[in-house]
Amino acid sequence: MPELPEVETARKLIADTALNRRIVGVDDADTFVCRPHAPGELRAALTGRTLTAARRRGKTMWCETSGLDGSHEAGPDLGIHLGMGGRIVVTSGAGEAAEGGGPRRRDAQPRKSEWDRFTLVFADGGSLALFDKRRLGRVRLTPDIDALGPDAEQVTAAEFGKLITKGSIAVKARLLDQSKIAGVGNLLADEILWQAKVSPSAPTGSLRRKDADRLYSALEAALASAITKGGVHTGEVIPARHPGGTCPRCGAEMVHGTVGGRSTWWCSREQAA
Ligand SMILES: [Zn+2]
């Protein structure tokens, strides 16, 4: 499932390759992915505009759009959510395609055009498509981002310290709460907790300042590494998340449980509750 780093690669792809290209066609026929919009509604709203910026908060991504016919009044924001495995494919006017989003699975089948759930066609002949075999992505105008906490990449140490030590919920559940910090999913949470040597079930209120500082450093490092390497699956502890797995740092057995409603793995020695 895409977490912040995967969405960031998609956002960066759009920012680098899809801005300022005039939209001349929109395929918004998939009424499930484009709900609640009726077919043609997105086309009517976007045709004649350009994308002017690609933004992200947590796992939510949106594009700002230009006014029509040189008008300075901006168009609507176009929200694109990658769902469970969606990818953004941007094609140049010369037909060269570049992809951003989750990792391409080694067993990935060739891209089928019917798995393009939403497409913008540009005047230069290129396009931007949401390629989403599982059809769990979502495209909508003016997505609501007010319910999201600060982006995990932007949150300050002071903000994070307050968020992570308040209340008595399991620290992993707090990390996953998008209304508190936006962008941390299940794998990233396990990676951060392992890096910081904090038990996933430790109550937030029991964490000390130095725990919060270690978690913040781990968050920053894990995000930077995952963005550079192409996704959260590249985290150090991720390959050890299986029965019989051992901690890549100390060699102790990895243990499994459900924390914050999610499948969780931690080091039996360094992250003991
Ligand atoms: Zn260990």
Predicted confidence (pLDDT) per residue in 173-193, tens digit:
999 999 999 999 999 999 999
| pLDDT given at position 114 | 81
Range 183-206 average pLDDT: 97
Per the prediction, the chain carries an average pLDDT of: 94
Residue 104 banded pLDDT, cuts 50, 70, 90: low
Is pLDDT at 100 greater than 80 in this prediction?
yes
Q: What is the DSSP letter of 252?
A: P
**Cβ-contact 67, 162 below 8 angstroms:** no
Percent of the chain topping pLDDT 90? 87
Distance from residue 251's CA to the centre of ligand 1 (Å): 6
Which residues are CB-neighbours of 164 under 8 A, at least 6 positions away?
Answer: 171, 174, 175, 204, 207, 212, 215, 216
Distance from residue 179's CA to the centre of ligand 1 (Å): 30
Answering whether pTM is above 0.75, one says yes
Residue 223 banded pLDDT, cuts 50, 70, 90: very high
CA 179, 32, 36 angle in degrees (round to 5)? Answer: 65
Q: What is the CA radius of gyration of the chain?
A: 20
Distance from residue 111's CA to the centre of ligand 1 (Å): 40
Distance from residue 159's CA to the centre of ligand 1 (Å): 28
Residue 57 banded pLDDT, cuts 50, 70, 90: very high
Is pLDDT at 71 greater than 90 in this prediction?
no
